[in-house]
Structure 1
Amino acid sequence: MESMNFRSLEDFWAFYVTQHSKPCTRRWHFVGTLFGIVFFLCSLIFSWWFLLFVPLSAYGCAWYSHFFVEGNIPATFGHPFWSLLCDFKMFGFMLTGKMDREMKRLGKRPVLQVF
């Protein structure tokens, strides 16, 4: 991934959205983030061992979607902290049904897919 400098989280967010243009990519991220949250909660309730599954599930699903669905390199490799923040932002938009509207606001039309 080429080195890109961003001046703000909002600038990075616009780039982040372009890297998640396919609905299937966003769905894989949503599932990974959801499992990460569930495993984190399980670690608080049951055992700290569940913490091992937080990054495995979250990054596993996300990276799978980038390599095999979107066909790009995860932004995490170049900007890990901002990518994490934007992943939660995207999760929130998806949870509330606002992600397509956000993509249109940024001028990124959602890519239609059959699957």
Structure 2
Amino acid sequence: MTAPPSAPAERFQSFGAFYPHYIHEHSNRTCRRIHVVGSALVLVALVLGLTVNAWWFVAMPLIGYGFAWIGHFFFEKNRPATFKYPLWSLMGDWRMFFETVTGRRKF
């Protein structure tokens, strides 16, 4: 019996192998859009942390993960990859964000 794409039987050996799984876990357009908005707001919080108040740095993970998890729990209806692959999931978030804002991936 083989594992479904959302639950790989073994750990990925590289980010290149992980990213197609990550994209599959973001099939829902609303979930992807919420991720992109959340990532953009993380960048805003970064700028605010550098220019206004350092407390904005605390908000960065709350904003980023908050938006992403809402997208997964309410729209994608799956478990965020962050729980099993925290670093690669973070890398996937930013790759998907930059692919989207540069027009390589549909918003």
TM-score (norm 1): 0.82
- Looking at structure 2, the residues matched to 65 and 57 of structure 1 have their Cα atoms a distance apart, in angstroms, of 12
Offset of residue 60 of structure 1: 0.4
Offset of residue 4 of structure 1: 3.7
1:36 has 2:42 as partner = yes
* Counterpart for residue 3 of structure 2: none
Q: Secondary structure of 1:48's match?
A: coil
Give identity over the alignment, percent: 38
Offset of residue 59 of structure 1: 0.5
Q: Deviations over 1:30-59 (max 9, x none)?
A: 011011111011101111111111011110
* Counterpart for residue 62 of structure 1: 68
Q: Which consecutive aligned stretches of 4+ in structure 1 deviate over 2 angstroms post-superposition? A: 1-4
Structure 2 unaligned residues grouped into runs of 5+? 1-5
* Counterpart for residue 92 of structure 1: 98
* Counterpart for residue 28 of structure 2: 22
Q: How many residues align?
A: 100
Offset of residue 98 of structure 1: 1.0
Output the aligned Cα RMSD.
1.4
Q: Higher relative CO (CA 8 A, sep ≥ 6), structure 1 or 2?
A: 1
The change in CA–CA distance for 1:34 and 1:4 in structure 2 (over 3 A counts) is farther
Structure 1 unaligned residues grouped into runs of 5+? 101-115
* Counterpart for residue 53 of structure 1: 59
TM-score (norm 2): 0.88
2:58 counterpart letter in structure 1: L
